[in-house]
Amino acid sequence: MLAEILDVLAPALERPGALYVDGTLGMGGHAEAVLERFPEASVVGIDRDAQALELAGERLARFGERFRGVHAVNTELADVLDGPADAMLFDLGVSSFQLDELERGFSYRADAPLDMRMDQSSAGQTAADVLNTYSQDGLERILRVYGEERYARKIAHAVVKEREKQAWTTSARLVEMLRSVIPSASQRQSGHPAKRTFQALRIEVNDELRGWENTVDTALDTLAVDGRLAVLSFHSLEDRITKQAFARACRSTAPAGLPVELPEHLPEFELLLRGASTPSATELEHNSRSASVKLRAVRRTRPKGSQS
């Protein structure tokens, strides 16, 4: 959805000296497109994955001082920026680069260590740690909430039972167990049996949802007047957080029954898209991983806390 994202952000990026913040830089594809299309814009790219940041930096080196890469979690957005941003993009979830690096353990299609840390330079817990140390109730909770897995209880019970025999270390054994626990009929209807469990583990390991709840509000606060924020979400939990945050930001604060809406009660933002935009059939042909993606965007209409 690159072309649509650029079109949505264009009015803010066409300003002289515009600042674009890529809150999930990845391999730098979106940042590169911005730098090419908007020659007066500069880019700050944030990523928690040091390896991805290094590769993106090499890709974008030709733009010189117009690009600055920052190794940080996007919850640190306010600390990274010196002032307001004109345009921002957050492409949430795991990147294609991370999925394709099989040794990272994000993919359930090859045997690999159960790591799943987006920032491997940190000492945070891995997916194996979660499987080996969480209680059965704790495992059931993350599978049900983060994976939206209907067989969460059965899977959690099986995980605990199996770890008593041998600690969890690699993905193939987990996939094999999931195939045996999840009914065959469900597997035929819902796709790969490991999809939801791997999603839940990744979200828990990287604290993605709690982090995004904090980040989206900071991003809104950081936008300049007429600035634009776009968000790409790949599953319903992220999209729900985004949708609710945007709805709050675009809502009038006028008390019910007030005959005239005072200036201080006017919304500070407006929605730029009707609902969420989804990929076209053409894009799905070229990128099957975009099947579940939703794009939402807002524009800041007036200064924060202003009275006119």
Q: Annotated binding site for S-adenosyl-L-methionine: which residue ranges?
A: 28-30, 47, 91, 98
Distance of alpha carbon 202 from alpha carbon 44, whole angstroms: 26
Q: How far out from the chain centre does Cα 184 lie?
A: 31
Distance of alpha carbon 195 from alpha carbon 109, whole angstroms: 10
List all residues 6 or more positions away from 11 whose beta carbon is below 8 Å from its beta carbon.
226, 228
List all residues 6 or more positions away from 190 whose beta carbon is below 8 Å from its beta carbon.
none
Query: Which residue ranges make up the annotated binding site?
Result: 28-30, 47, 91, 98
Distance of alpha carbon 233 from alpha carbon 26, whole angstroms: 15
Burial pattern 93-132, b for ≥16 Cβ within 10 A else e, equals bbbebbeebeebbbbbeeebebbbbbbbeeeebbbbbbbb
Phi-psi region at 36: left, alpha or beta (left = phi > 0; alpha = psi -120 to 50)? alpha
Tokens of 69: 């890469």
What is the C-alpha end-to-end distance of the chain, expressed in Å?
35
